Structure 1
Amino acid sequence: MYHITRNGGHFVSRLKQTANPTIVSVLRKYRGQAIDLAGKSLQDVLPHLKREVLDVLVEISFKRRSYKEKASLAKETYRLIGILDQGTNEYHLYLTSLSPEQISAEDVAILYGARWSVELIFKELKRIYQLDVINSGKDDVVESLVLVAMLALVVSHRVLNFMRRIVPEKGNRWTPMRWAEAF
């Protein structure tokens, strides 16, 4: 994350359940008798929160790589988003370098959810269209095989969506992966 931000990029990542960063400041104000969070550890205040959305800046400590057999500790400040799951009454926690001006807290959760769709597409491209095993070193051949696989994937998904619309009662039986195998 440190290198991503230092090189001008952004990230959205799920925060480990065991992580316990220190809250630096609150980015979203709450009405009523809100708990003051600044300076407290996340795990200390999380069980007491009832907010639907938690949007704060946190300080993360991490070890840098060893240099001359010495590892140093570093601290960075990132934005932490917590979205309360009404079913489980637990927070889904996301860490990001994106500011509130760039993306809302709710949209961070949606963006992270879209990540899984991308993972499934890569899995399908590797497993069904075998893009993980291209037996050529020629750039033109590799590019052609990648483009053909991507076109086949797009056509397969379009036909699947069409089939789901015309036969909705059977639509859930066809996962994209299962459909691609048959396609």
Structure 2
Amino acid sequence: MLEDHAEEVGLVERNRKLQMPPLVWSLVFGFATGESRSLADFRRSYNSTADDTLCPSGFYQQLTPELAEYLSDLVEAALDEVTVPDTTSREIDRFRDIISADGTVLRLHELLADDFEGRKEEQTGARLHLLHNITEQTIDDYSVTDEKTHDSTQFDTGPWLEDRLVLFGRAYLSYRRFALIDENGGYFVTPLKDNAKPVITEELREWRGDAIPLEGEQIHDVTEDLYRQYIDVEVEVEFERRAYAGEQSEDSKRFRVVGVRDEGADDRDYELYITNVPREEFLPDELATIYSCRWETELLFRELKTQYELDEFDTIKKHVVEILLYAAILSLLVSQELLALLTEHASAEIVFPPERWAATLRSHAQLLLYRLGDYLGYSPPPLLDRLVKEAQKIHQERQTLQEELVTAMQPTAEA
């Protein structure tokens, strides 16, 4: 498939010596090898795998916008292939999938500011947006934008949301978006912003004694006066529908707000969530527990940044940034597929923590690349020849220290 698609997009027409499978796999496992991931390291990985080696200039010539587009196609194909066995609890089998929408910023060279505008003038950054399927432990969708593009603009509502639960961060809070999710048969849980002012229409739990009545109040106006462990109320929110035929209409909808008191906080604050999940299915503390699943997405970003050094882009070329970014995502998808094989092979009682697995893969990446090249039938040049070629001086006009010493001492010796 790697070779056929490279032929389709014309990647190998200019250099028939180039072998696409070793190039792709070198980029994938190059992210997980050594202490850095420079382009020179990727070339060395390629030369240790392919039948013929490439000189630095020959390798760098392959890093083209066409290669970036090719790797993007591979990511799209891999998104449909990779899945890890279900590791979620039975309590949340009620949902078809639990999805986490989130994004992370990648710092880039300042000369890329025209292509990747940062939020501040002195900064340049790209933003990677992910839809992380927590149920299947893989990525359902992704996009790459400049840093200024808001995460919420990359989330599309539609029929695909039916029976799925989406966990959002505060940056995604939009009542119109929540209404569309509800109208498509989906569910959501999102922390409520401090400046949000939904009005309480009904309490969903009865309290004994002289409980403070909440109907008609704005949620943040009453939390400081409450001592109960949980809040569970219905609220009404107002929002504007998308403009149609040049006119924009206002609408309102009722959702549920739950609160769980943080006993460890000095000010005894509530953690408030807005949702459309019915009370008869999940209580406030259960929803808070489900929302903690978003931590898995944070671990995913941490794996990309710490194990595959995603945010260390030492280049001023936009297409090279894209190549490295798509290679990192492919590394992550391959990591998840290997974890699925590992889980299937190991005893049922063995647990593989994600970060420990990522570190293990990184430390064994070169061995995996060697085994893969051998399995695919590639015969790289003899090791001694490769060492000679890699270690020899390339720039003949630059003198080494030994040559400088010889040059300096030669007149004295001749005299």
TM range (shorter): 0.7 to 0.9
Question: Which amino acid letter does the alignment assign opposite residue 38 of structure 1?
Answer: E
Aligned twin of 1:133: 326
Select the structure of larger CA radius of gyration: 2
Aligned twin of 1:168: none
How far 1:38 sits from its partner (Å)?
1.0
Q: Take 1:159 and 1:82, find their aligned partners in 2: how far apart are those partners?
A: 33
Q: Take 1:177 and 1:78, find their aligned partners in 2: how far apart are those partners?
A: 40
Question: Which amino acid letter does the alignment assign opposite residue 63 of structure 1?
Answer: E
Alignment of 1:156-171 (within 5 A): 158-160=351-353
CA pair 176-21 structure 1, distance change in 2 beyond 3 A:
farther
> What TM-score results when the alignment is normalised by the length of structure 1?
0.73
Match for residue 109 of structure 1 among 288, 310, 313: 288
Q: Secondary structure in 2 aligned to 1:11?
A: strand
Runs (5+) with no aligned partner, structure 2: 1-177, 311-323, 344-349, 365-415
Question: Which amino acid letter does the alignment assign opposite residue 50 of structure 1?
Answer: Y
C-alpha contact (below 8 Å) 1:59/1:76 kept by paired residues = yes
2:266 matched to 1:78?
no
Q: Take 2:217 and 2:236, find their aligned partners in 1: how far apart are those partners?
A: 11
Q: Take 2:226 and 2:260, find their aligned partners in 1: how far apart are those partners?
A: 11
How far 1:47 sits from its partner (Å)?
1.4
Match for residue 210 of structure 2 among 11, 33, 43: 33
Match for residue 123 of structure 1 among 286, 297, 301: 301
How far 1:160 sits from its partner (Å)?
4.9
Identity among equivalent positions (%) equals 31
How far 1:116 sits from its partner (Å)?
2.0
How far 1:102 sits from its partner (Å)?
1.3
CA pair 153-16 structure 1, distance change in 2 beyond 3 A:
farther
Match for residue 337 of structure 2 among 134, 148, 151: 151
Q: Secondary structure in 2 aligned to 1:133?
A: helix
Runs (5+) with no aligned partner, structure 1: 136-141, 162-174
C-alpha contact (below 8 Å) 1:160/1:179 kept by paired residues = no
How far 1:73 sits from its partner (Å)?
2.1
C-alpha contact (below 8 Å) 2:304/2:332 kept by paired residues = no
How far 1:182 sits from its partner (Å)?
4.1
How far 1:34 sits from its partner (Å)?
0.4
1:36-61 CA-to-partner distances (Å, cap 9, x unmatched) read 11111112212111111000001111
C-alpha contact (below 8 Å) 2:260/2:271 kept by paired residues = yes
CA pair 70-125 structure 1, distance change in 2 beyond 3 A:
farther
Q: Take 2:253 and 2:210, find their aligned partners in 1: how far apart are those partners?
A: 30
Match for residue 96 of structure 1 among 254, 275, 278: 275
C-alpha contact (below 8 Å) 1:124/1:177 kept by paired residues = no
Aligned twin of 1:57: 234
How far 1:71 sits from its partner (Å)?
2.8
C-alpha contact (below 8 Å) 2:194/2:220 kept by paired residues = no
Q: Take 2:190 and 2:285, find their aligned partners in 1: how far apart are those partners?
A: 14
Q: Take 1:105 and 1:160, find their aligned partners in 2: how far apart are those partners?
A: 28
1:160-181 CA-to-partner distances (Å, cap 9, x unmatched) read 58xxxxxxxxxxxxx5587354
C-alpha contact (below 8 Å) 1:79/1:97 kept by paired residues = yes
Name the Cα RMSD after superposition: 3.2
Greater RCO, CA 8 A, separation 6+ = 2
Q: Take 1:125 and 1:151, find their aligned partners in 2: how far apart are those partners?
A: 15
Question: Which amino acid letter does the alignment assign opposite residue 336 of structure 2?
Answer: M
Q: What count of residue pairs does the alignment treat as equivalent? A: 161
1:81-133 CA-to-partner distances (Å, cap 9, x unmatched) read 0011112200100011110111111100001111222x135425755578961
Aligned twin of 2:402: none
